[in-house]
Structure 1
Amino acid sequence: MKLGNWPDVVNGEKAMEIARDKIVELETGTDAQSTNVATLHDAFESHLSQSDAKGATIENYRLQVRNHLDVLFSLPIEKITLPMLEAAIADKGVSQALHLAQIIKMAFRRASTVRRCFDVSASLKVKGAKKYKPSNKVKFDASEQWPAIDLIFECNSLVHRTAWLLMLFTGFRSLNARTLMWDQVDLEKKTIELTAMKNGLDRTFPISDVICAALARLPHRKGFVFPADTPRSHTGHIGQLDARTRGIEMFEGNERPKKALRQHDCRRLFTTAARRARLPEYVIDELRGDTPKKVQDIYDQGSANHGDVNLIAERICAECGVTPCFVLDRIEGSS
């Protein structure tokens, strides 16, 4: 068994130290060969094999590794140092760095459990993370007319436009919308079934006439409701939807398109419209797919109905300065 190269093995004393560790690994079955975990790639795949995460989530993790961590994850675990981990996320934005750090820690936790090695990632921190607080506000003044529907219909892609409408008129999270399959949709019953949501729940949701009409305009009825634009896609469904923009803003001395509507803003607007329509809190919680909070919530077999979502749709349209009929006409006339 090779113990290493100079200068890692600088003298006989160092060789004896490494040899003792190797013997312990062999005796306990925690060496790389016995565990099949030699690199962080191996450790991460071992972690994913035990994960209950949805397939789309796992594929997104793998995509992040391929795009940003491939070289690091290909190294032997014992060769990886904290400065290497810090360098891997140093040039990333705070949000992306936090996501990559989470992936690194998943892999190292698995490695430390299986290999009984030191978890180098335990001290990994993202610079600026304490200052980073995701905004819970939309990009426009919600007390004035909402530009959401106009922004969505400015989207040229029928598939992307329909995905945006689905998020706005259901409040679904982006991942649930983008990974939706046709076998989860029942246009006759006007329902959509979501399984293993972010909180682990499965729930069937009533959907409004606006969404039924929008989905009916799509030219296919099998597989993903929103298939990928390219056959080279790793997932088969559309990826992150770029924020809808309007106008120009200055950022770090340069001009860039000004974000006017982001994916999660749709969930915020759906909730706001439901409250402005004065729907009961328990109905709003159910339509948002929230975790049951009270005993009655647990016993409730489904209080929200098609009328509730149509009422929210009417309110969304009113806040945007249009009527549901006007939106339906735009859907029917779009291509």
Structure 2
Amino acid sequence: MATQEMTFTKGALDKAAHKGGAATRYRDARYPNLYLEVGARSQTWRFRKFWKGRNFTETLGTWPQMSVIEAAQTAAEINARVEATGITQHDDRPRNAPEVTLRKAFDEHVSQALDPRQKKLTAVTIADYECVLRCHAPRWLEMSISDITRQMVNEKIKALSDTPATATKLLRALSAIYGTQLAYRDDGFEHDPTYRVKGYEATHRELLFDDAKRWPALDAIAQVPNVTRRAAWLALLFTGFRMRNIRELRWSDIDFDERVLTIPRMKNGQKRTFPLSDMAVDVFKHTPRTHDVIVFEGRHYGKPITGLRQIDKDGKDVDNGGVLRPHDTRHLFSSAAAKAGLSGPVINWMRGDVTIMRGAAGRYMHDLGSHEVANAVAQQIVAKCGPEMPIEQLLTPA
């Protein structure tokens, strides 16, 4: 490609144009061996030098993340090293990282193979990542992770624009895999094609209220035909917990005498014990005890219920257009807690959030809830979802 002359000033660099082809190359005579290559989507600093019959090239960074002065200084250091040693990198730095396929990188990401400090992933997360990679990027699995480019990732995400949730999940999986490689490898690997690639914002659906400003949660739950699933919905509503925590509950986690519930493993891996409201205690007392260990047993013996989907006003599982989703119950719990006059940290603690409060103060807050607080929230939930109906009646088999 032809090289064009320009003065490397901020204004000129911002206006540097890509004039077709692979890239347009610019140089400033004040900075020997430093070039700016402008492509369709990025502007990259490169060191280039012909020395003793050999061409030396090195990618330095991108504009504007790397300034002119930083790029020039880096180029000067590499130039001195080339003339002194004949190589572009330090002798103590491995020059060629081993080839790793995306499949192997995925296995390393989910198995803590690179470093014991890696975060341990749940089986659900592993299955989700594996499924989205196998379905939407199957050819990439056998490719070297160094050969997967930002342009490839960006085009893939754009191609999935009709399913934004899937696109974002794919981007999240790739970003996590490359993040593990960057964090724990010590062989000079620095490639991340997901950097600055944008996913899609989550769509938010308004909670549905009727003409009396009531939220029809209890009405819909009361119509769920399966009593165990009906009880699980009520547990979600009166605890504000995540669906995963409700599904994994064991009878040994519930202390009916002390009216507390222990979640052995929160989202952040920690164990936490929560006070239960009288309504929540009644829900668990009247839940059909079909298994000695699992609280909410599914259709298959010894297996918990499958994830609850959204339900319509008649209590039927639907894919779209329902009036209640599992995560909606966390919204209502938070709103009810705020109406009960609870502070932000207490609300976050009661619904099992990982972060109770931003900053150091949050790390020093423990055991913020009480039975009185839980009852106050439950009363607000009933007031918003009324009319009040005894839990025993709600959980009576049809």
- Select 1:66's aligned residue among 105, 130, 137: 130
SS state at 1:204 partner = strand
Partner of 1:267: 330
Where does structure 1 lack aligned partners over 5 or more consecutive residues? 1-12, 14-19, 33-37, 248-255
Distance 2:225 2:240 in 1: 22
Name the SS for the 2:321 alignment partner: strand
C-alpha distance in structure 1 between counterparts of 2:295 and 2:174, whole Å? 32
CA contact (8 A) 1:44 1:106 kept: no
Q: Is the 8 A contact 1:179 1:237 kept in 2?
A: yes
Query: Which residue pairs with 2:245 in the alignment?
Result: 176
Superposition TM-score, scaled by structure 2 size = 0.60
Letter aligned with residue 45 of structure 1: D
Could you tell which deviates more after superposition, 155-164 or 217-226?
A: 217-226
* TM-score when normalising by structure 1: 0.70
Cα deviation for residue 242 of structure 1 reads 1.3
Please give the alpha-carbon distance, in whole angstroms, between the structure 2 residues aligned to 1:64 and 1:139: 30
1:42 to 85, 104, 110: 104
Superposed, 1:94-243 pairs within 5 Å as 94-112=164-182, 114=185, 116=189, 118-122=191-195, 124-126=197-199, 129=200, 132-135=201-204, 137-140=206-209, 144-198=213-267, 202-216=271-285, 217-227=287-297, 229=299, 237-243=304-310
- The one-letter code matched in structure 1 to 2:394 is R
Distance 2:141 2:352 in 1: 39
Looking at structure 2, the residues matched to 40 and 289 of structure 1 have their Cα atoms a distance apart, in angstroms, of 35
1:317–1:300 Cα change, 3 Å: same
Contact 1:205–1:287, Cα closer than 8 Å, also in 2: yes
TM superposition shift of 1:295: 8.8
Q: What is the one-letter code of the residue matched to 1:76?
A: M
Where 2:312 maps in the other structure, the secondary structure is strand
| Contact 2:228–2:296 (Cα < 8 Å) also in 1 | yes
- Compute the displacement of 1:101 (Å): 0.6
CA contact (8 A) 2:346 2:356 kept: no
Matches within 5 A, 1:51-90: 58-70=122-134, 71-72=138-139, 74-77=141-144, 78-82=146-150, 84-86=152-154, 89=157, 90=159
Percent identical pairs in the alignment equals 27
- Distance in 2, Cα, partners of 1:322 & 1:54: 44
Q: Check whether the contact 1:190–1:208 (CA below 8 A) recurs between aligned residues.
A: yes
Alpha-carbon distance between aligned partners in 2 of 1:206 and 1:330, rounded to the nearest angstrom? 22
Residues paired across the two proteins, number: 293
Deviations 1:169-221 (A, max 9, x none): 01112232233344322233221122453456542111123322332323245
The one-letter code of the counterpart of 1:125 is K
Question: Any conservation in 1 of the 2:345–2:356 contact (CA below 8 Å)?
Answer: no
Structure 1 residue identity aligned to 2:207 = V
Please name the residue that 2:311 is paired with: 244
Normalized per residue, the structure richer in helix is 1
Q: Which has the higher contact order (CA 8 A, sep 6+)?
A: 1
**CA deviation vs aligned residue, 1:144-189 (integer Å, no higher than 9, x gap):** 1221011122222333322221111011122322333443222332
Would you say the 8 A contact 2:277–2:371 is kept in 1?
yes
Contact preservation (8 Å) 2:219, 2:313: no
Q: Per-residue displacement from partner, 1:77-107 (whole Å, max 9, x unpaired)?
A: 2453445534654336223321221111111
Secondary structure, aligned partner of 1:122: coil
Question: How far apart in 1 are the matches of 2:193 and 2:362?
Answer: 43
Q: Which residue of 2 aligns with 1:3?
A: none
Please tell me the root mean square deviation across aligned C-alpha atoms, in Å: 4.0
Contact 2:236/2:243 (<8 A) preserved: yes
Check the 8 A contact 1:180/1:225 in 2, yes or no. Answer: yes
**Cα displacement (A) at 1:51:** 6.5
